[in-house]
Amino acid sequence: MFCYQCEQTAQGTGCTAFGVCGKDPEVASLQDLLVYLLEGIGQYMTRARRNGLQDREIDHFALEALFATLTNVDFDPQQLAERIKKANKIKERAQALYEESCRKQGLAPENLEGPARFVVQENWDTSEMVRRGEAFSLEKDIESLGEEIAGAKHCVLYGLKGIAAYAHHARILGKEDQKLYDFFYETLDFLTRNNYSLEELLSKALEVGKWNLKAMELLDNGHVERFGHPQPTPVRITPKAGKAIVVSGHDLVDLEALLQQTQGKGINIYTHGEMLPAHGYPGLKKYPHLVGNYGSAWQNQQREFDAFPGAILMTTNCIQKPRESYKDRIFTCGPVGWPGVVHISDRDFSPVIEKALSLPGFEQDEPEKSITVGFARNAVLSVAPKVIEAVKQGKIKHFFLIGGCDGAKPGRNYYTQFAQMVPQDCVILTLACGKYRFNKLDFGTIEGIPRLLDVGQCNDAYSAIQIALALSEAFGVGVNELPLSLILSWYEQKAVAILLTLLHLGIKNIRLGPSMPAFVKPAVYNVLKEQFNLLPTTTPEEDLKAILG
């Protein structure tokens, strides 16, 4: 196996024997085969679209299948083998659609090569698929294209995976965009080529950033239309006595369905990890049994779920190997999977509810403590005049966006230390699971404005961008001239997509840590440094000094 798609990749270069995340060579190979088939679907669909035909079933399958290959999503060989078989059928359907589109246009279909021609035979079992998948390891790209070009190509693939995740969430909320699907297929098709220049790969990567912004916008609109604008809301972070279910991941629609199905059942629902922002949405906080937030970011789940006295639901990434102590009370849904863990595919959460009812739950209330969430674009911009006045009077000197995804490596204390060192006359915006490094600390207020504003999930980077654009308009300067610095942590491919979005918007001087992506090789990094002054994080002291002078 060869995988270097996330920040914790082995030795900072690539997982080759076994994934640091727990991905074994078998699963890695199945994921490589699935991506290969998706590229084949992309070849046909790009051409069918050019001839004016579309097929939503194919679109939906392609998004979810690529989502399943993100870090910490689907570790289940059986589930992946099913996806592969389905991908093969979907590819046949895409081919038929393309041929039909040619007939309609009076054109002769092209004779496509590569993944378009690859066929998964009916009699292949999982181990045969694993064996075949080995031929499509990304290492082959490195061998044929060289490290630099292959790395840039893989950056495009990883960014596209991020788009797949956000676009999948958006489409569940009924938000889709044909042009986004078109870009998605064109990019899959683009990945089937075997020669590229660095320039075209970099420009494609920035285009991925552009379309990721669209995916995040669709998702933002979907969330707001369904659940209302997030409002500043205190969230209890200590348990209440009673039966309990904790929900992790990003999918608010799954959470809503669970809240509906548990109404009046005497079960308290807790959010975990990236579910925390749910408490700010009127359409979700109206459920009185959504009682609070439990635990912290994804990488602490094994310890936290172990100690949780109820049932656990993982709606998206990031799942880790379940300990035996909770393997029979954790459930997955959507794109997530772990071998031997019950998967719920139709949002009928009865097994989760029954399990929670059979477990003791929390015996007693712990003294109440809370944190505040819900500072997405609408809430922040509604106090914009106050914020602008505070900046003009010199009461707010600088804004820091400290956020992104968290991970297990020790160097991530940087973000806690940085937040603690930010001077009292500065405001911190945060988002994604990286916030757990400091979101339970008391940062106080400036003129009644909280110094720590939690914008939401990683996809709410869209909201943060809207806030930055509104500030730049109010001050009549470009975003790069604002007293705003971005201190980002990255972990997996959604973060890659967001970084590409920020670069696409021309945002400079981003500090990225705790390490640079393994697939960003020196020639690419030099371009990013030159064009965007993308910087690696150093120490909180040095970085703060450099920013504030």
The structure tokens listed for 482 are 């604002």
Residue 6 lies near ligand SF4 (rule: CB under 6 A): yes
Q: Under DSSP, is residue 343 helix (H, G, I), strand (E, B) or coil?
A: strand
For residues 162 and 484, what is the distance between their CA atoms, to the nearest angstrom?
Answer: 25
Alpha helices (H) in 51-191, listed in sequence order: 56-67, 77-105, 126-133, 138-145, 147-172, 178-190
Helix (H) or strand (E) holding 256: helix 252-261
For residues 27 and 309, what is the distance between their CA atoms, to the nearest angstrom?
Answer: 31
Query: Which CB, 426 or 488, lies closer to ligand FSO?
Result: 488
Query: Which CB, 160 or 432, lies closer to ligand FSO?
Result: 432
Query: Which CB, 181 or 491, lies closer to ligand SF4?
Result: 491
Nearest CA-CA partner of 316 in 289, 290, 292, 335? 335
Identify what 344 binds: ligand SF4, ligand FSO, none; CB under 5 to 8 Å per kind.
Answer: none
Pick the stretch among 31-39, 331-339, 346-354, 486-494 that binds ligand FSO (CB under 6 A): 486-494
Q: How many CB atoms lie under 10 A from the CB of residue 39?
A: 24
Residue 31 lies near ligand FSO (rule: CB under 6 A): no
- Cα 183 to chain centroid, rounded: 19
Query: Which CB, 6 or 116, lies closer to ligand FSO?
Result: 6
Identify what 8 binds: ligand FSO, ligand SF4, none; CB under 5 to 8 Å per kind.
Answer: ligand SF4
Residue 457 lies near ligand FSO (rule: CB under 6 A): yes
Query: Which CB, 158 or 462, lies closer to ligand SF4?
Result: 158
Residue 3 lies near ligand SF4 (rule: CB under 6 A): yes
- From 45, 291, 429, 495, residue interacting with ligand FSO (rule: CB under 6 A): 495
- The contact mask relative to ligand FSO for 407-446 (x = CB under 6 A, - = no) is -------------------------xx-------------
Nearest CA-CA partner of 467 in 401, 422, 373? 401
Secondary-structure breakdown of the chain: helix, strand, coil percentages, each rounded to the nearest 5: 55, 15, 35
Smallest separation (angstroms) from ligand SF4 to the CB of 196: 22
CB 230 within 8 A of CB 378: yes
- Tokens 């009924």 sit at which residue? 174
For residues 464 and 454, what is the distance between their CA atoms, to the nearest angstrom?
Answer: 10
- What is the residue type of 124? W
Identify what 405 binds: ligand SF4, ligand FSO, none; CB under 5 to 8 Å per kind.
Answer: ligand FSO
For the CA atoms of 292, 294, 297, 302, the dihedral, rounded to the nearest 10 degrees, stands at -160
Residue 405 lies near ligand FSO (rule: CB under 6 A): yes
DSSP 28: H
DSSP 124: -
Smallest separation (angstroms) from ligand SF4 to the CB of 493: 9
Size of the site for ligand FSO (CB under 6 A): 15
Number of H helices, E strands in the chain: 19, 16
Residues 260-319 that bind ligand FSO (CB under 6 A): 273-274, 298, 317-318
Identify what 15 binds: ligand FSO, ligand SF4, none; CB under 5 to 8 Å per kind.
Answer: ligand SF4
The structure tokens listed for 43 are 């070849």
- The contact mask relative to ligand FSO for 41-80 (x = CB under 6 A, - = no) is ----------------------------------------
Q: How many CB atoms lie under 10 A from the CB of residue 378?
A: 16
For residues 282 and 277, what is the distance between their CA atoms, to the nearest angstrom?
Answer: 11
Residue 301 lies near ligand SF4 (rule: CB under 6 A): no
Q: Which residue is nearest to ligand SF4 (CB)?
A: 19
- From 20, 253, 408, 482, residue interacting with ligand SF4 (rule: CB under 6 A): 20
- Tokens 């690529």 sit at which residue? 66
Identify what 494 binds: ligand FSO, ligand SF4, none; CB under 5 to 8 Å per kind.
Answer: ligand FSO
Smallest separation (angstroms) from ligand FSO to the CB of 465: 16
Query: Which CB, 72 or 485, lies closer to ligand FSO?
Result: 72
Query: Which CB, 149 or 496, lies closer to ligand SF4?
Result: 496
- Enumerate binding residues for ligand FSO (CB under 6 A): 250, 273-274, 298, 317-318, 405, 432-433, 457-458, 491-492, 494-495
- Enumerate binding residues for ligand SF4 (CB under 6 A): 3-6, 8-9, 15, 19-21, 23, 71
